[in-house]
Amino acid sequence: MSYQAGRHFLQIPGPTNTPLPVLAAIAKPTIDHRGPEFGRLGREVLAGIKTIFKTENPVIIYPASGTGAWEAALCNTLSPGDQILMFETGWFSTLWSKMAKKLGLEAEVIPGDWRHGVDAGAIEARLAEDKDHRIKAVCIVHNETSTGVTSRVAAVRRAIDKAGHPALLLVDTISSLGSIDYRHDEWGVDVTVGGSQKGLMLPPGLSFNAISDKALAASRTAKLPRSFWDWEEMLEINAKGFFPYTPSTNLLQGLNVALGMLHEEGLDNVFARHDRAAEATRRCVRHWGFEIQCAEPAEYSSSLTAVRLPDGHSADNLRAEILARFNMSLGNGLGPLADKVFRIGHLGDFHDLMVTGVLTGVEMGLRVCGIPHNPGGVDVAMSYLAGNAGPGATPAN
């Protein structure tokens, strides 16, 4: 491929663009992970990350992708043959259930349509049937990256409580943490899974388990094999800011800076920025005349928007043309949505002008590919953004 001038627009739903201050921190010389300087860094990031999960309890950091944190959540709390209840919201909930089965768990999956979030009523009804409490955990995805659907975690917690069931609640926040409001403690979550490469604005390579007292108690009797993922050894040495094995030192340096940036902006402002970008994107998409994959407005994701193309038109061809002509990457459709949808990521380090640039690239691609649409969607997005300015801006008259 010949050189393409200008910056590449990375608009997949993660990994996201890494800000220059974070890149600079990662590029600093590696420090001794057993020395006092690292101990200070470790204590800072282990305390700082708790504020993003909104928890007072420990958060464990692994040198791994989010998939590793999935496995850690399961193997620290469950035993071979345990039954767990999961809900199919899309590709990533499906992958998590496949992992559970590989680990020797009995994963019961309530089917979904990939257009709606977790049905809390169905969870409650199934748990109410489980009189012997064979189900040991309920596992859900907060923000389904394949569909742009955000499930209501608090409603699932209420459903478990209404059923009077002791099951643990495990939640994946890989594409929502740091982008969509999430409350580990307040919502009564037992294990929250996270990753570094999306709302936290880092490259891939760090993952997280936020844990409750109930989850920690379960880990003391859980029998699934674990060594690398074991919480106990990690928590013991984390108290001093260190890790039981070589950590991702430079990524932790970047994480410390990223946490500072999120706190400086203020989490409420971060969430409002994502909400605004998402609404501008949806208004643009609707003006074009396309359907949004998420069918329930109350479950719209603020991290990404999955767009359904009309029958007979290839989403993959559209993405390829946009990449070749305009140097912009969009997310592909996964599983049954392959070639049917494209996904616009609007999470991490971005602002309003970047949002309109992305939508302009998509609208130009639609013209190039001859896909029928109503032109002017970008104008609709710009009008919305101009009238809903972010913090520090002067609203339009």
Binding-site sequence positions for substrate: 343
- Residue at which a domain ends, from 263, 284, 307: 263
Does 3 fall in a domain?
Answer: no
Indicate if 257 and 273 belong to the same structural domain: no
Per the structure, the count of domains in the chain is: 2
Indicate if 284 and 248 belong to the same structural domain: no
Indicate if 148 and 282 belong to the same structural domain: no
| pLDDT tens digit sequence for 226-249 | 999 999 999 999 999 999 999 999
C-alpha to C-alpha distance for 290 and 238, rounded to whole angstroms: 49
Q: Which CA distances in Å does 251 have to 9, 34, 247, 364?
A: 23, 16, 9, 37
Q: Are 50 and 211 in contact (CB under 8 A)?
A: no
pLDDT score, position 394: 40
Closest by CA position to 101, among listed 125, 71, 123, 124? 71
C-alpha to C-alpha distance for 327 and 232, rounded to whole angstroms: 46
**β partners of residue 212:** none
Q: Which CA distances in Å does 234 have to 83, 231, 373?
A: 27, 5, 53
- Please compute the mean of the pLDDT values over residues 365-390 and round it to a whole number: 94
The CATH number of residue 279's host domain is 3.90.1150.10
pLDDT score, position 388: 82
Range of the domain at 335: 9-16+267-387
Does 106 fall in a domain?
Answer: yes
Does 121 fall in a domain?
Answer: yes
- Residue at which a domain ends, from 240, 263, 286: 263
Does 393 fall in a domain?
Answer: no
Helix axes 267-288, 352-368, angle to 10 degrees: 20
Indicate if 259 and 275 belong to the same structural domain: no
Indicate if 174 and 314 belong to the same structural domain: no
Does 225 fall in a domain?
Answer: yes
Does 394 fall in a domain?
Answer: no
Indicate if 33 and 103 belong to the same structural domain: yes
Residue 4's pLDDT band, with cuts at 50, 70 and 90, is: confident
Indicate if 107 and 50 belong to the same structural domain: yes
Backbone angles phi, psi at 191, to 5 degrees: -135, 125
- Please compute the mean of the pLDDT values over residues 281-290 and round it to a whole number: 98
Q: Are 30 and 250 in contact (CB under 8 A)?
A: yes
Binding-site sequence positions: 343
End-to-end CA distance of the chain: 46
Place of tokens 């020797």: 104
Indicate if 131 and 78 belong to the same structural domain: yes
| pLDDT tens digit sequence for 252-261 | 999 999 999 9
- Please compute the mean of the pLDDT values over residues 121-145 and round it to a whole number: 98
Q: Is the pLDDT of residue 389 over 80?
A: no
Indicate if 256 and 312 belong to the same structural domain: no
Strands (E), 152-273: 168-172, 191-195, 207-211
Does 138 fall in a domain?
Answer: yes
pLDDT score, position 390: 66
- Residue at which a domain ends, from 242, 263, 284: 263
Does 4 fall in a domain?
Answer: no
Indicate if 88 and 116 belong to the same structural domain: yes
Indicate if 252 and 278 belong to the same structural domain: no
The residue type of 32 is D
The residue type of 165 is H
Q: What are the tokens at 386?
A: 């101009």
The CATH number of residue 179's host domain is 3.40.640.10
Indicate if 177 and 256 belong to the same structural domain: yes
